[in-house]
Amino acid sequence: MDMAPVVALGTLAALCPVFGLLIWLGRRGMPAGAPDVLVFQHSAWLRLFALCSAFGIPAGIAVLAFFHPPRNESDTWAMLFCFALFAGLSGPLLWEAYAFALVVSEDGLLCRSPWRGQWFIPWREVEEVYYAKQNSYFIIRNTRARKFRVPTMVPGLARFLERCERHLPWAALRNARPGYAQVKRPFPLPVGDEEVRSKWRPRDDARPDRRQGGREEDGYRGGRDDYAP
């Protein structure tokens, strides 16, 4: 009996639970949306593509091996290499597609990175939001220089920018201007440049460990009065 089809089906049977576990871990603890909470995740199309890559391609290799078994040991090793190759490519894609999330609330930003874990940034600790043209990312940087990257392919980012305009000064968004065009949202106009410069200061003094007179010094000006009416 040719063992190659058995090996192929066994490999497929081993990969499916692994990929299923990745999806479960990625979705576990995923926050739900609410009237005042926005949840940004990768699109359904990307998740579907990741699913097809993770399950469909190995299934296709297994079916091919079943109906057209490898002729020799070299072909069998080539088949196993294909399994490993596509598993190595589709596994990280599946994890990225299902584990990424950005949750925006009135209190701040909950950042769920598939690769760096989860952390919360209060609005007063958001140093700036800027756009990286090289990778098409919006990058959120806090006062401790920690960064969270949001790809522009994530749907609905115009609503994220609207929330940023509500909670952050104009100067914190000025380097995000190229990204506004990518998500088709008009860039907000500031008041006079001199007035903006006089109101804006580095938010290093917004760090919780900086205190004056026995209380936290809030160096963050959270108003929106540096936007043009």
CB 100, CB 118: distance < 8 Å: no
CB 40, CB 156: distance < 8 Å: yes
Given this model, what pLDDT does residue 107 score? 93
Max mean pLDDT range (25-29, 142-146, 153-157): 153-157
* pLDDT digit string, tens, across residues 78-120: 888 888 888 888 889 999 999 999 999 999 999 999 999 999 9
More confident residue, 194 or 60: 60
* pLDDT digit string, tens, across residues 150-186: 999 999 999 999 999 999 999 899 999 999 999 999 9
Local structure of 6: helix, strand or coil: helix
Q: Which two tokens stand for residue 212?
A: 């004056």
Q: What pTM did the predictor assign?
A: 0.73
- The half-sphere exposure of 90 on its side-chain side, counting CA atoms within 13 A, is 24
CB 85, CB 68: distance < 8 Å: no
Burial 122-155 (b: 16+ CB within 10 A, else e): bbbbbbbbbbbeeeebbbbbbbeeebbbbeeebe
What confidence tier does 70 reach under pLDDT thresholds 50, 70, 90?
Answer: confident
pLDDT at 16 over 70: yes
Given this model, what pLDDT does residue 222 score? 45
Distance (Å, whole) CA 226 – CA 199: 8
Whose tokens are 């990175």? That residue is 113
Given this model, what pLDDT does residue 224 score? 53
CB 40, CB 102: distance < 8 Å: yes
Given this model, what pLDDT does residue 192 score? 60
- Measured over the CA atoms of residue 11, residue 16, residue 21 and residue 22, the dihedral's sign is positive
What confidence tier does 225 reach under pLDDT thresholds 50, 70, 90?
Answer: low
**Going edge to edge, which strands form the sheet with 101-104?**
38-40, 101-104, 108-113, 117-122
Given this model, what pLDDT does residue 4 score? 66
Mean pLDDT, range 63-72, rounded to an integer: 81
More confident residue, 55 or 104: 104
CB 164, CB 133: distance < 8 Å: no
Given this model, what pLDDT does residue 63 score? 83
Distance (Å, whole) CA 215 – CA 209: 10
